[in-house]
Amino acid sequence: MTVTLQWCVACGGERDFDQPLCGDGHGSECPEWFCLACGNAVVLACSDEVPAAA
């Protein structure tokens, strides 16, 4: 199971995110993640693209 630490807007903090079973054939490249704490789903299109700090 792949878990990554991401910012959850619903929790208002960093939470562990896991990937749901992908039905679109994305496999491990699936951009869909959900918060393990609250279940909020997010789509990380470019997870390696870090936005510059404002």
Helix (H) or strand (E) holding 8: strand 3-8
* Nearest distance in Å: CB 25, Zn ion: 7
Per rule CB under 5 A, count of chain residues that contact Zn ion: 12
DSSP 14-49: EEEEEPPPPSSS-GGG--EEEETTT--EEE-TTTT-
Here's the x/- map for Zn ion, 1-40, by CB under 5 A: it reads as -------x-xx---x------x-x-x---x----x-xx-x
Residues in contact with Zn ion by CB under 5 A are 8, 10-11, 15, 22, 24, 26, 30, 35, 37-38, 40
